[in-house]
Amino acid sequence: MEKPKKTRLATIWLSGCSGCHMSFLDQDEQIIELAKNVELVYSPLVDTKTFPEDVDITLIEGAVGNEEQLSLLRQARERTKILVSLGDCAVTGNVTALRNAWSPSERTVLQRAYVETTDVNPQIPTDIPKLLKQARPLHEVVQVDYFLPGCPPSADLINYVLTELLASRTPNMEGRSKYG
C-alpha cells in the first residue's frame, strides 16, 4: 500500500533573534509526532539552500528587514499554500522595528550597530544585503494566512496551530495564551 503523502513544511528565519525557532524546537517529544506527518523541506534547521516549490505550510520568524529577506519572503509566498507569521517580530515588527523610529537611514543604523557599539575592530561590513528603509511585519508585504503571536510564541501554541493545520482545521486562538 502506498504511504500517505507527508505535509511539506518549511520554516524561515528573517530579522529575528531565533527565539521563535528555539520555541519550535521546544515542542520536545511532540516533534516526533509531527515528524510522522511532516517533511521539513526548508529551514535553518536543515541544509537546504533554495526555497523549494510546492510547500504546504511555511512558518516565518522575524520582520522583513533587507532586500534579500524581501526576495525570500515573496518567493516563499508564491510557493506556499499556507503562510504563517511566527512570533511578534513577524506579526507586528516588534523589537526588529525599533530601528524604524530611531532612524530611517541605512548608514546611521549600520554605524550604530557596527561602529558606535563595537569595541573591537569597528567597521561597517560591505558584504551584507541592503537594508530596507524600515523593518516591516510580513503582512505589509505579502498575504499572511495565520498569525501566531508571542515573543516567542509558546511551544504548545506552535504545536496546537501545526496540529490543526495538519488536520485541515482552522486554528482557534481565542482564549489561548501565547506564552503557554
Shortest distance in whole angstroms from residue 93 CB to ligand SF4: 9
The yes or no reply on residue 89 touching ligand SF4 (CB under 6 A) is yes
DSSP 90-128: HHH-GGGGHHHHH-S-HHHHHHIIIIIT-SSS----SSS
Question: CB under 6 A: which stretch of 81-89, 110-118, 119-127, 136-144 binds ligand SF4?
Answer: 81-89
The yes or no reply on residue 17 touching ligand SF4 (CB under 6 A) is yes
Question: CB under 6 A: which stretch of 12-20, 47-55, 102-110, 136-144 binds ligand SF4?
Answer: 12-20
Which residue intervals of the chain are DSSP H helices? 19-25, 30-37, 67-79, 88-92, 98-102, 106-111, 155-166
At residue 148, the 3 state secondary structure works out as strand
As given in the structure block, the three cell numbers for residue 38 are: 511532516
The residue (of 2 and 28) whose beta carbon lies closer to ligand SF4 is 28
With contacts defined by CB under 6 A, how many residues of the chain interact with ligand SF4? 13
Shortest distance in whole angstroms from residue 113 CB to ligand SF4: 16
Of 9, 16, 109, 171, the one binding ligand SF4 by CB under 6 A: 16
Shortest distance in whole angstroms from residue 99 CB to ligand SF4: 13
Site for ligand SF4 in 42-71 (CB under 6 A): 61-62
Sequence-ordered list of residues with C-beta below 8 angstroms from that of 18, at least 6 positions apart, any chain: 44, 61
Give the C-alpha distances (Å, rounded to integers) separating 120 from 59, 116, 127, 134: 36, 11, 19, 28
Residues making contact with ligand SF4 (CB under 6 A): 16-17, 19-20, 61-62, 87-89, 94-95, 151-152
